[in-house]
């Protein structure tokens, strides 16, 4: 039985992230009940002080806020739909990766069942949880966010984006999209130099400070995009942003040009539409309005 000094919380789902979330709560002094379809995944957490529940229902009925960190939108419904009555009047914090519309649907489902709902997007990998640099984005119930702020801060810096339950997921996935495309650019560069006998480690030593410096341009691009004026001075024009040399060099090295082709396609669509003299930031319009 939990006390005020050891508040109760339940974690459903013990994949790598769910395990990290639960472990951080145990370490922080929460009476943490855990459940997973494969019970053996709870063993290490039990040795740390967690309580293993035989069923998801047992975990929910243990009391306190319920944390869902499951496989996806469908799995949240699969696990929680039969437990709606047990969750009524309770708090559900869902950090399962879902799309914005799926998050909104879950918030609507929760509201219909009398469940206070907060959606979260985790901007960290499991080893970062509870450490500096870990961040979790939230949207949905303001009351839940503020009432359980201490719990949320156990995992990392917590930021609330508003009552629209889909916003945390939207920011989460937008940031991940930026990350994956950046990583693909790094991989392309590493592949270019590999035939010359340059290791990925050697290339990374050059790429990291260069790419870090280039992120300083985000604010400038953002101002241009928000103003909607792609003719503003100081921008490199689309016509000048000729990627043919990058494509040719890549082909000479015998590697794929898919990453370059993607960016070049965005540029060419704007040039073909008569915007070649305008700035590179205009490829935002190619992305915003797909062909």
Cβ contacts of residue 167 below 8 Å, gap of 6+?
100, 137, 139, 161
Mean pLDDT by 10 residues, the chain (291 residues): 70 98 98 97 98 98 97 98 98 98 98 98 98 97 98 98 98 97 98 98 98 96 95 88 96 97 97 96 96 81
Phi, psi of 281, deg, nearest 5: -60, -15
Q: Give the H or E element holding residue 160.
A: strand 157-160
CATH code (residue 67)? 3.40.50.720
Q: Are residues 233 and 284 in the same domain?
A: yes
* Torsion (CA) 156, 162, 167, 171 in degrees, nearest 10: -50
Residue 170 maps to a domain: no
At residue 5, the pLDDT reads 62
How many Cα neighbours within 13 Å face the side chain of 66? Answer: 30
User: Assign residue 32 a region: left if phi > 0, alpha if psi is -120 to 50, beta otherwise?
Assistant: beta
What 8-state DSSP symbol labels residue 216?
A: G
At residue 235, the pLDDT reads 84
Cβ contacts of residue 236 below 8 Å, gap of 6+?
279, 280
For 55-112, give the DSSP string: SHHHHHHT-S-EEE--SSHHHHHHHHGGGHHHHTTSEEEE-S---HHHHHHHHHHHHH
Instruction: Report CA 221 to chain centroid distance, whole Å.
Output: 22
Range of the domain at 87: 8-163
CA–CA separation, 159 and 120 (whole Å)? 9
* Residue after which a domain boundary falls, among 135, 163, 191: 163
Residue 181 maps to a domain: no
Q: Are residues 90 and 205 in the same domain?
A: no
CATH code (residue 216)? 1.10.1040.10
Domain count across the chain: 2
83: which 2 tokens? 């437990």
Q: Are residues 150 and 214 in the same domain?
A: no
Reduce the secondary structure of 179-209 to three states and give it as a string: HHHHHHHHHHHHHHHHHHCCCHHHHHHHHHH
Which whole-number Å values give the CA distances from 117 to 105, 109, 111, 138, 165, in the listed order? 11, 9, 7, 10, 8
Q: Are residues 206 and 78 in the same domain?
A: no
Q: Are residues 155 and 256 in the same domain?
A: no
At residue 2, the pLDDT reads 44
Q: Are residues 150 and 209 in the same domain?
A: no
pLDDT tens-digit map of 86-108: 999 999 999 999 999 999 999 99
């Amino acid at each position: 039985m939990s006390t005020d000094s050891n508040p109760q919380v339940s974690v459903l789902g013990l994949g790598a992230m769910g395990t990290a979330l639960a472990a951080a709560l145990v370490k922080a002094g929460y009476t943490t009940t855990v459940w997973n379809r494969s019970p053996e995944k709870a063993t290490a957490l039990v040795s740390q002080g967690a309580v293993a529940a035989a069923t998801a229902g047992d975990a929910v009925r243990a009391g306190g806020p319920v944390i869902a960190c499951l496989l996806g939108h469908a799995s949240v419904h699969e696990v929680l739909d039969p437990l709606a009555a047990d969750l009524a009047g309770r708090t559900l914090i869902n950090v399962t990766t879902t799309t914005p519309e799926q998050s909104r649907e879950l918030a609507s489902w929760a509201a219909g069942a009398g469940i206070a709902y907060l959606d979260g997007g985790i901007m960290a990998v499991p080893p970062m949880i509870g450490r500096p640099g870990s961040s979790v984005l939230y949207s949905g119930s303001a009351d839940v966010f503020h009432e359980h702020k201490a719990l949320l801060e156990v995992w990392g810096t917590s930021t609330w984006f508003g009552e629209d339950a889909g916003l945390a997921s939207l920011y989460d996935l937008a940031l991940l999209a930026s990350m994956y495309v950046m990583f693909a650019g790094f991989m392309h560069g590493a592949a270019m130099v590999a035939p010359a006998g340059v290791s990925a480690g050697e290339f990374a030593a050059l790429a990291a400070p260069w790419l870090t410096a280039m992120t300083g341009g985000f604010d400038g691009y953002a101002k241009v995009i928000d103003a909607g004026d792609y003719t503003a001075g100081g921008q490199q024009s689309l016509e000048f942003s000729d990627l043919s040399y990058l494509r040719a060099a890549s082909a000479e090295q015998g590697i794929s040009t898919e990453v370059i082709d993607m960016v070049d396609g965005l540029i060419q669509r704007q040039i073909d539409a008569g915007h070649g003299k305008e700035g590179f930031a205009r490829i935002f319009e190619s992305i915003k309005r797909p062909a």
